[in-house]
Chain A
Amino acid sequence: GENVEQHPSTLSVQEGDSAVIKCTYSDSASNYFPWYKQELGKRPQLIIDIRSNVGEKKDQRIAVTLNKTAKHFSLHITETQPEDSAVYFCAEGGGTSYGKLTFGQGTILTVHP
């Protein structure tokens, strides 16, 4: 079945530094890889996603890279700000189970002012 490993589980950075979160997946048929940000007590919010026909996608301070051969993808946040502090989840989908997403366990990101 599908499985997603996410690292690190916690990440602490200083404001202005970069943060990188990495995920590996098992279903070679997966072709959709979203990232969600969840603030305490709030709903998960889609912040960026990438499809398997693209190696990298950028949106302002956030970027995602995908290596289909190695079956891993990463979230990069540059110039971090305190409001970036949240739990970040990676997920994979679009493979053998089409619509459903399989999520990683989450990374608690803390940005210190």
Chain B
Amino acid sequence: GAGVSQSPSNKVTEKGKDVELRCDPISGHTALYWYRQSLGQGLEFLIYFQGNSAPDKSGLPSDRFSAERTGGSVSTLTIQRTQQEDSAVYLCASSLPSRYEQYFGPGTRLTVT
């Protein structure tokens, strides 16, 4: 079946502009995660949605970052007033209910100039 999809695959934006990144999880996966991967680094947790529960936002680096998940499926990560240090690959993952295995999308490469 279809895997996790993300759009856009690449985004170049000017410092100070807002950006929206989209994630479409695997059908039936109730948990959705956002991670950030800076060049040559590991994956840094940002936010986690599980069903109708309140999201775990503990990894968001600042209040410029927010995410929502509509209808329990598609999620959008929004970064306001982008800074150069926001440049990274933003990865989304999803998992089945009550399962630990997370499956990743291809990521969105964000470049802030």
Measured CB to CB, the residues of A under 8 A from B are: 6, 32, 34, 36, 42-46, 49, 51, 89, 91, 93-94, 97, 99-106
| A103, B102: Cα distance in complex, Å | 13
Q: Is the interface of B mostly helix, strand, loop or mixed?
A: strand
Partner of B43, one of A44, A94, A97: A44
In the bound complex, do residue B56 and residue A100 qualify as a contact, i.e. CB atoms below 8 Å apart? yes
Find chain B residues with CB under 8 A from A44 CB: 43, 91, 104
Find chain A residues with CB under 8 A from B48 CB: 99-100
In the bound complex, do residue A101 and residue B91 qualify as a contact, i.e. CB atoms below 8 Å apart? no
Q: Is the interface of A mostly helix, strand, loop or mixed?
A: strand
In the bound complex, do residue A94 and residue B100 qualify as a contact, i.e. CB atoms below 8 Å apart? yes
In the bound complex, do residue B58 and residue A103 qualify as a contact, i.e. CB atoms below 8 Å apart? no
| A100, B43: Cα distance in complex, Å | 11
